[in-house]
Amino acid sequence: MFQRFRRTRLNGHLRSLVRETNVNVTDFIYPLFVRSGEGIKTEVASMPGVFQMSLDEILKECEELKKLGLYSIILFGIPDVKDSIGSDSLCEHGIIASAIRAIKEAHPEMFVVTDLCFCEYTDHGHCGIIDEKNETVNNDATLEISGQQAIVHAKAGADMIAPSGMMDGIIVTLREALDGAGFENLPIMSYSTKFASGYYGPFRDVAESTPSFGDRASYQMDPANRREAIAESIEDEAQGADILMVKPALAYLDIVREIKDATSLPMAVYNVSGEYAMLKLAGKHDLIDYNRVVMETMMSFKRAGADIIISYHAKEVAKILLNK
């Protein structure tokens, strides 16, 4: 005797009944990029369908997202003025704090996650205060101002904070700062295993965060290291993170699965700009069945162990699911 696997494949209803993995609109967090001004909605050439938007346009976008069933966003700020320490991100009247307050006032049901980092706010494009001698980021000095940034986000009304700078000790630093300021119930979604990846290229355009010198390999993960990647997330779990993340997603699904099996926390993946742009370009040239490949990609994230998907495809996925 041999197993006839096709018995459960021949009928479409039965295929649905035995399907092990499903993609739902509630799995997604949609990234939004806010800058000052009015009436600004500038499409990013390297990321078709992704925009830099002024706050009035962001509020309109939130209305559209709700119609699609998307209630979770992750917010990135693009200030008018940048300096060596990213002062705008530390100011309660800065672009990110102002945006949080406005979104929560106009759309209180939206779940607002904030990217906590300095690369969008610094004139050098790195993720913290510069260690000029070693041409890298000064880890401990950056931790000090990261706690300040977290409190700015929390006071403005953020629903969850997501530190992305890959500073050692960032989770315990933020947890202590938030707890000390009375925000002990505010969750932290850690970019716990973030690789120094070539897949981030188009993001530099939308966030205007290209480093002015060097790269981020001295503080982000080496893509070649599997055991270290797992250890990074285990450490953040121990420090008090509420959700772990692997970024990028597509080339690191083995890491997603291993972290999922090694930890007890919910797992997020960031389906990054380069992954998005590749599918967009392939679809534009009719090299793939675009919608089918998008959904297959999302399924791969869920199958690998992701509970949450941060993706620029989220609106498209919602429309595909609504039209099924």
239-291 residue pLDDT tens: 999 999 999 999 999 999 999 999 999 999 999 999 999 999 999 999 999 99
Concatenating the DSSP letter of every residue in 250-277 gives GGGHHHHHHHHHH--S-EEEEE-HHHHH
Tell me what the pLDDT averaged over the chain comes to: 93
Q: Is 62 annotated as a binding residue?
A: no
Q: Domain boundaries in the chain?
A: 20-323
pLDDT at 97: 96
User: Can you give the pTM of this predicted structure?
Assistant: 0.94
User: How many angstroms separate the CA atoms of 188 and 171, rounded?
Assistant: 8
pLDDT, average across residues 31-44: 94
Q: Does residue 209 carry a pLDDT above 70?
A: no
Q: What is the largest CA-CA distance in the chain?
A: 72
pLDDT at 281: 96
CATH for 20-323 is 3.20.20.70
The number of angstroms, rounded, from the C-alpha of 280 to the middle of its chain's C-alpha atoms is 19
User: How many angstroms separate the CA atoms of 142 and 31, rounded?
Assistant: 24
Contact between 209 and 125 (Cβ < 8 Å): yes
Residues annotated as catalytic are 194, 247
Per the structure block, which two tokens stand in for 126? Answer: 């790195």
Q: Is 212 annotated as a binding residue?
A: no
Over residues 89-132, the pLDDT tens digits come to: 888 999 999 999 999 999 999 999 999 988 888 877 777 888 77
Identify which has the larger pLDDT, 34 or 120: 34
Q: Is 46 annotated as a binding residue?
A: no
Closest listed residue to residue 188, CA positions, set 258, 263, 238: 238
Over residues 163-204, the pLDDT tens digits come to: 998 899 999 999 999 999 999 999 999 999 999 999 998 766
Q: Is 232 annotated as a binding residue?
A: yes
